[in-house]
Amino acid sequence: MATVVDVRAETSHAKTFRLALPHPSIHLAGQHYIVRLTAPDGYTASRSYSVASPPDGSAEIELTVELLPDGEVSSFLHEVVMPGDTLEVRGPIGGWFVWRGDTPALLVGGGSGVVPLMAMLRLARRTGRSDLVRLVVSARSPGDLYYAGELPGPETTIVYTRAAPPSWPRPVGRLNGGDLPAPITPDATAYVCGTPGFADAATGLLTDATIATNRIRVERFGPTR
């Protein structure tokens, strides 16, 4: 069981939950945890959520959860859970979509797909290796941008698809090849996370940019209730 020690809003429809685990976490950037809820009648529901916090050997992790329409688990977390509550969690899980912080990485995320990539960016910044990472994130509008107070920086490019801040240098529109950093480090591994449609489109842009398919790691997600 994990204890909720903090809850904060990231956007109007996303919250970050800081959890204290029974033991220090040894997760890798890109891994996830499963949160399991059990009703009084024994009914259970489980969902997987990426870790947003970087590996630091502490006993706390952060999970950022998007509120989904009629979502069983996300609705409970957003509407009921508060600091002091306990949650059943299992993890860390995953060995493919991980970055260990010592090789070049190109990160491409759409919407809530930025969550595991934020763990990678935070790791790079914490260890003084921001030179290894470039993050391109797509968001519908400024109000939909996760980690808005922290994410911007020399390592990041923000693409708004529907509405942008005044005087934003890039016109609104879908992610395109011109949004990718140039030149792309030849030995970089690309990490793509988002909806199936976004992931497929981003993968196509990366291959068009001559990144070998065996250097592209993709994590797709869809709405789960």
| Exposed e or buried b per residue across 193-218, where buried means at least 16 C-beta atoms within 10 angstroms of its C-beta | bbbeebbebbbebbeeeebeeeebbb
**Dihedral sign of CA atoms 88, 93, 97, 102 in order:** positive
Q: What does pTM read for this prediction?
A: 0.95
Convert the pLDDT of each residue in 103-156 to its tens digit. 999 999 999 999 999 999 999 999 999 999 999 999 999 999 999 999 999 999
State the CB neighbour count (10 A cutoff) for residue 155.
17
Please write the tens of the pLDDT for every residue from 87-116: 999 999 999 999 999 999 999 999 999 999
The C-alpha atoms of residue 89 and residue 35 are separated, in whole angstroms, by 5
Burial status of residue 83 (CB atoms within 10 A of its CB: 0-12, 13-18, 19 or more): exposed
Confidence of residue 57 (pLDDT cuts 50, 70, 90): confident
User: What residue ranges define each of the domains in the chain, with the CATH number in brackets?
Assistant: 2-93 (2.40.30.10), 105-220 (3.40.50.80)
- Give the Cα separation of 134 and 24 in Å (integer): 29
Residue 222: what pLDDT?
67
